[in-house]
Amino acid sequence: MKVGILDILTTPSSSWAETAYNGVLTKQYACITPQAIAVWCRQLGHRTHYATYHGTGDPKRLLSNDLDLVFIGAYTQASALAYALAKLYRREGTRTVIGGPHAKAFPRDCLRFFDIAVGECDKALIADILKGIFGPGTIVSSRKPFDDVPTIEERMPEIRASAFFRQRHPFRLTTIPVLASMGCPYACNFCVDWNNPYRLLPTERLAADLRYASAHLPGVMLGYQDPNFAVKFDQVLDVMESLPQGRRNPYIMETSLTILRSDRVMRLRDTHCVAVAPGVESWSEYSNKAGVGRTTGLEKVDRVVEHLALLHEFVPYLQANFMFGLDVDEGDQPIALTKEFMSRTPFVWPVVNIPHPFGGTPLFDRYLNESRILTSMPFAFYYSPHLVTRLKNYTPPVFYQKLIDVFSHFTSAAMLRRRLATTDRGAVRAIHIVRTLVKRKRIRAFQRLLHMLNTNRQFRAFHEGESSSLPEFYQQAYDRMLGPYASLISRAERSPLLERAPVDDGGDVGASRTSLADSAPAPPRARASLVAGRTE
Ligand code: SF4
């Protein structure tokens, strides 16, 4: 069979700056699962076409025509584009399959456009899909996430296609996706990994990847896509240290502060860790994973600042992830504390996210129960700067005003000067400058939305839950997002199918896979990515 695999990394770029940014940086964040699927399809004897879409050109032209089956991987943010492409492929008689974070969060909505929606997958499930075992309108999932991640060596055709310069050789920013583990021991209610148990993947496979990268791709960055890297810290770091110093590839990862205890940070430097992105989230909740016990408020700020200052001595690039707009956030204090933190840590890039209710999370269930989700807001707007729910303690204008306040603080010229003074590494300085410019653009987006709320009664009524009619502002934004594909998705089709996913009762114990037409696949990840532009 002729099988296509398309990994949609972002929405179409809307400016030259975004085109450049996506073409250089976003391009480097291809997901490992579509690459694994491409390898499995090849091993199963099919002709495989793999590509990533990073916001430039016509995504339909990235794969060859006359495919028998296409797998499309997408984040919820890119769901509109995935749906439009599904329509085009269906017209050509190609079977359409969607996987990735959006399919896991909202599988039933996907089935309005795709033949099959996939939750977790493994090689056996992919083989069954290719054999045509599942009919149109089916949600399928393997019993658990796959263990047998194809190695870097096996994925080289896909790595070349997604991350190399002109598909020929790596360049300074090339980043290769790797996995050491799945799942997470914590249960943050907004996170799609909240009930995905932590599992360390076979360490021999990781060791093989590290040896291959060291010998054939020296100096090339490895990007760990683990939800929470090195929960089994010693086991993972032992594997890394099995290579001699000087032959270890640089790597980046996301993890919890509680894992990065002071007695471990030297090992990060020695194994060539160059960037870490811990989630702090809030000054009044999620303290357990920050390693500060039950501490909250200013005392938590003090302890997190101290911890990150220590980390900064050993890891050149740090990012801290926050959420603003949680139900625990109230009044001026959350923003005041976050600004205090930012002022004291110019060496840390802060990411401030808006909580979005991704299907399969406790947050989604609560918002749905409390009728706080804006029901006609298309899934394609489930990312910052957009607000898709009614917040407990802030009106929409007050919320946006506070976001403008905190973003203006950390993107100010004074803060940028202080940030640049914290490092003499050219690459880190360049990233700080680019990210500051991108976030200044985000402030303009917040200001536009605030202006609409203050001047357009229908827009305000929509955000306050008094009207369910999607404002023309969002219809036009949706049209712009899809460009020439906009007419493929009618206005009626843009309203999402919002429903709580029923609980998977497990089906036949021992089966290697299960068809879940009436049950829920495990949820995906929706945390702030270390790369700007995904969920940030
Ligand atoms: S946000 Fe991070 S720590 Fe919390 S459940 Fe998700 S992966 Fe785990």
Please tell me whether residues 11 and 99 are part of one structural domain: yes
Please tell me whether residues 358 and 424 are part of one structural domain: yes
Asked if residue 204 is part of any domain, the answer here is yes
Range(s) of the domain holding residue 209: 151-276
Please tell me whether residues 120 and 227 are part of one structural domain: no
Residue 516's pLDDT band, with cuts at 50, 70 and 90, is very low
State the DSSP code for 63: S
pLDDT for the residue 501: 59
Asked if residue 37 is part of any domain, the answer here is yes
Q: What is the amino acid identity at position 432?
A: H
Please tell me whether residues 310 and 457 are part of one structural domain: yes
Asked if residue 283 is part of any domain, the answer here is no
> Cβ distance 9 to 52 under 8 Å?
yes
Please tell me whether residues 18 and 117 are part of one structural domain: yes
Give the domain CATH number at 155: 3.30.750.210
State how far the Cα of 238 lies from the Cα of 154, in Å rounded to an integer: 24
- pLDDT tens digits, residue range 102-121? 999 999 999 999 999 999 99
Asked if residue 108 is part of any domain, the answer here is yes
Closest C-alpha to ligand 1, atom 7: 227
> Of the residues 192, 198, 199, 527, which should be mutated to test ligand 1's pocket, given the most ligand atoms within 8 Å of the CB?
527
Distance from the alpha carbon of residue 193 to the mean position of ligand 1, in angstroms: 6
Does 227 contact ligand 1 (Cβ within 6 A)? yes
State how far the Cα of 524 lies from the Cα of 119, in Å rounded to an integer: 8
Distance from the alpha carbon of residue 274 to the mean position of ligand 1, in angstroms: 21
Please tell me whether residues 310 and 195 are part of one structural domain: no
Please tell me whether residues 338 and 446 are part of one structural domain: yes
Q: DSSP of 389-451, one letter per residue?
A: B--SS--HHHHHHHHHHHHHHHTSHHHHHHHHHT---HHHHHHHHHHHHHHHHHHHHHHHHHH
pLDDT for the residue 533: 34
State how far the Cα of 119 lies from the Cα of 134, in Å rounded to an integer: 14
Closest C-alpha to ligand 1, atom 3: 186
Please tell me whether residues 121 and 177 are part of one structural domain: no
Asked if residue 128 is part of any domain, the answer here is yes
Q: Where are the alpha helices (DSSP H) in 74-150?
A: 79-91, 101-105, 107-110, 123-131
Please tell me whether residues 297 and 272 are part of one structural domain: no
Kindly give the number of the ligand 1 atom that is closest to the alpha carbon of 185: 8
Asked if residue 508 is part of any domain, the answer here is no
Q: How many domains does the chain have?
A: 3
Distance from the alpha carbon of residue 20 to the mean position of ligand 1, in angstroms: 31
Please tell me whether residues 49 and 19 are part of one structural domain: yes
Does 535 contact ligand 1 (Cβ within 6 A)? no
Tell me the mean pLDDT in the region 470-475: 98
Asked if residue 78 is part of any domain, the answer here is yes
State how far the Cα of 462 lies from the Cα of 386, in Å rounded to an integer: 13
Does 134 contact ligand 1 (Cβ within 6 A)? no
Tell me the mean pLDDT in the region 493-506: 71
> Of the residues 182, 192, 228, which should be mutated to test ligand 1's pocket, given the most ligand atoms within 8 Å of the CB?
228
pLDDT for the residue 504: 45
- Among 115, 142, 169, which residue terminates a domain? 142
Does 527 contact ligand 1 (Cβ within 6 A)? yes
Please tell me whether residues 158 and 138 are part of one structural domain: no
My answer on whether omega of the bond before 136 falls inside 30° of 0, hence cis, is no
Q: What are phi and psi of 10, to 5 degrees?
A: -165, 175
Distance from the alpha carbon of residue 181 to the mean position of ligand 1, in angstroms: 13
Distance from the alpha carbon of residue 186 to the mean position of ligand 1, in angstroms: 6
**Which of 12, 26, 108 lies closest to 499 in space, CA to CA?**
108
Does 256 contact ligand 1 (Cβ within 6 A)? yes
Question: What's the CA dihedral at 178, 184, 187, 191 to 10 degrees?
Answer: 10
Residue 12's pLDDT band, with cuts at 50, 70 and 90, is confident
- pLDDT tens digits, residue range 200-258? 999 999 999 999 999 999 999 999 999 999 899 999 999 999 999 999 999 999 999 99
Kindly give the number of the ligand 1 atom that is closest to the alpha carbon of 192: 6
Distance from the alpha carbon of residue 123 to the mean position of ligand 1, in angstroms: 26
- Among 87, 108, 142, which residue terminates a domain? 142
Q: How many CA atoms lie within 13 A of 510 on its CB side?
A: 0
Lowest mean pLDDT among 131-135, 163-167, 384-388, 512-516: 512-516
- pLDDT tens digits, residue range 34-56? 999 999 999 999 999 999 999 98
Distance from the alpha carbon of residue 298 to the mean position of ligand 1, in angstroms: 23
Give the domain CATH number at 100: 3.40.50
pTM: 0.92
Distance from the alpha carbon of residue 188 to the mean position of ligand 1, in angstroms: 6
Asked if residue 503 is part of any domain, the answer here is no
pLDDT for the residue 509: 28
Please tell me whether residues 76 and 122 are part of one structural domain: yes
